């Protein structure tokens, strides 16, 4: 019978090398600021969409914000392409940051609708800026948490 011990040791050494390469790549990755800012800009545009809505009894939502969802997927693809990282699992912290960003945007959109209904459309600029700031920060937190989750994945 043959001894496959050398092949198993060689495979284990290659796996350790691949793990070290992945850890090195993940350690050097920083959130692409321009693309993270683009996500914040999408959030600001969505909150500003309240200006196109007609709040009140005959509420009509603008239809163009759905284009922002498509742009979000393009930006996420660009982040993946630029960083070279493929996130299979984001982890609880990254998912929490994403959920918080969505809740902040929903809250600010609601506030913006109230402002528009009161005739204070100019104040939507403030809520839009708040959405940009919050989502820019939370997207960076989510990215860093996802990279940390990638590094923490157990290597078999």
Residue 56 DSSP label: S
Q: What is the pLDDT of residues 20-71, one digit of tens each?
A: 666 666 666 777 899 999 999 999 999 999 988 877 777 777 777 889 989 9
**Per-residue confidence (pLDDT) for residue 31, from 0 to 100:** 79
122 CB burial (10 A radius; 0-12, 13-18, 19+): exposed
Alpha carbons 36 and 137: distance in angstroms, whole number: 9
* Average pLDDT value for residue range 143-155: 76
**Per-residue confidence (pLDDT) for residue 55, from 0 to 100:** 72
Domain span including residue 50: 5-152
Cα torsion 143, 111, 45, 131 to 10°: value is -30
What's the predicted TM-score (pTM) here? 0.77
Residue pointed to by tokens 């050494």: 13
As for how many domains the chain has, the answer is 1
pLDDT over threshold 60, residue 2: no
**Per-residue confidence (pLDDT) for residue 28, from 0 to 100:** 67
In Å, how far are 30, 38, 60, 71, 145 from 34, measured between CA atoms?
Answer: 12, 6, 33, 14, 18
Q: What is the pLDDT of residues 75-127, one digit of tens each?
A: 989 988 888 777 777 788 988 999 999 999 999 999 999 999 899 999 999 99
Which uninterrupted H or E stretch holds 24? helix 5-28
């Amino acid at each position: 019978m043959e001894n496959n011990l050398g092949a198993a040791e060689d495979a284990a050494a290659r796996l350790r090398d691949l793990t070290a390469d992945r850890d090195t790549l993940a350690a050097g990755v920083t959130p692409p600021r321009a693309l993270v800012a683009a996500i914040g800009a999408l959030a600001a545009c969505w909150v500003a969409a309240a200006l196109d809505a007609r709040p009140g009894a005959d509420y009509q939502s603008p239809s163009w914000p759905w284009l922002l969802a498509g742009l979000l997927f393009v930006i996420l693809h660009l982040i993946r392409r630029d960083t070279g990282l493929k996130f299979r699992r984001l982890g609880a912290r990254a998912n929490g940051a994403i959920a918080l960003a969505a809740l902040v945007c929903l809250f600010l959109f609601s506030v913006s609708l109230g402002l528009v209904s009161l005739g204070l459309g100019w104040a939507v600029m403030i809520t839009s800026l708040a959405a940009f700031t919050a989502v820019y920060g939370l997207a960076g937190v989510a990215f860093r948490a996802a990279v940390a989750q990638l590094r923490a994945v157990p290597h078999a």
